[in-house]
Structures are given as structure tokens and as C-alpha cells.
Amino acid sequence: MKMIINFYRQYSSRVVCLVVVTISILIACNPTEPYSPSWSYYHPVESVLMLIDNLELSYHYINLNEYILCFRDDFVFYYESSGDTLSWGFDTEQEIHQSMFNQIDEVWLTLLGYDQYPWSGDTTGATLVLPRDYYLRVFIGPDDTTGTPAYGTANFICRQDSMEEWYVWQWWDYPDPGEDGWSDIKLLFMTPPSTH
């Protein structure tokens, strides 16, 4: 037993030293390597968490195709303006983001929260609500150094399609008091209605 303890004392410090030196060499050999997250999209979208990850990631990568895959034709976006609840559907959502993603240079988006619960309008419990606090900032063009911010809560109401993939069916935007919300960012890129 004494021999084992002595052996451990003699060689354990050498092992620790070897590990530290190896890590130091690896870091020193590549000091300017930029951080690159190894995120990738989920296909098929088998859970609501995969769906929300895809939505968030599509903003990070400014990827319209992946963003639109988070919705179906029956999608509705809701927001409040001057005390009224207003809305638009899938086609408008696509047009807004086509315009947005063509104009922005960079976007910061953070979605916070883990809650999910059955939507009260579906007695089967198959439709889920995912409330997420958001912090969003979009940078319009290369000269925009401050960005346009939005803060609030997004309630994503999600269901499965005929292929059992999850999608955002309804999206309710609740800006923080006194702050612009996600809806305000979207409205910046909405095409004005034709006057003819």
C-alpha cells in the first residue's frame, strides 16, 4: 500500500504538469482562431424546442429559407397598437423578413426561458405555448454601429403539421413597458400598402 501511495505521489504531479503543458501549447499555437459555434438546424423538427432553436438560429444566420420553414400557411402574428390587437399572416411575415434579411448586416437575438404548457384553446393538450423573453437588436447596413433594439416577451403557440413536424402556428408579441417590441422591428420592414 505504501508503494502505491509513493508511486501516485511521484507520477500524479507529472501527469498534471503534462496535461497543463499540452493545453497551453494548443492554445498558443492558435491564438487568433475566431469562435465559431457549431450550431446546425434540426430537420425533421421533432420537438418544440428544436423548432425554437431553428427560429433563433435563422435570425443569427439571417437565413430566410430556414426562418420560413418555422411556419405554415395558417400562421398568424399578433401585436398591439394603440390599444387594438392587430395581426398579419404567413405571406406578410415572409415579405417582411425578405425585406429585413436583405437590408440588415447583423442581428443579435437572445431568447430566454424554458416553460412550455398546453394551450387553453386545445382540449387535447397537443398545442403548446412557449413564452420566451427576448432581446433583439438589428443593424441596418454596414454604417449602423448601434443597431435598433427590441425587448419583450414572445408567446409562441406551436402545433404539429400532417407530417408530425412542429411549427409556430400563432405568435403573440408583448413588448416590455416603454420599449419597442419585436413587432416594431418587423413593422420597419413592412411594405406600405398600395394606394392605387
In a domain, 29, yes or no: yes
Per-residue confidence (pLDDT) for residue 191, from 0 to 100: 81
Both 130 and 71 in a single domain? yes
Per-residue confidence (pLDDT) for residue 24, from 0 to 100: 39
Both 128 and 171 in a single domain? yes
Question: How many structural domains are present in the chain?
Answer: 2
In a domain, 132, yes or no: yes
Distances in whole angstroms, Cα of residue 132 to Cα of each of 112, 151, 155, 172, 175: 5, 11, 6, 11, 12
Per-residue confidence (pLDDT) for residue 36, from 0 to 100: 41
As given in the structure block, the three cell numbers for residue 118 are 398546453
In a domain, 168, yes or no: yes
Both 64 and 118 in a single domain? yes
Domain CATH for 90: 3.10.450.50
Both 110 and 146 in a single domain? yes
In a domain, 39, yes or no: no
In a domain, 194, yes or no: no
In a domain, 127, yes or no: yes
Per-residue confidence (pLDDT) for residue 193, from 0 to 100: 57
- The series of mean pLDDT values per 10 residues for the chain, 196 residues long, is 47 41 37 47 95 96 98 98 95 98 96 96 95 97 94 98 97 97 97 56
Per-residue confidence (pLDDT) for residue 117, from 0 to 100: 97
Both 28 and 67 in a single domain? no
Q: Which domain holds residue 163?
A: 48-188
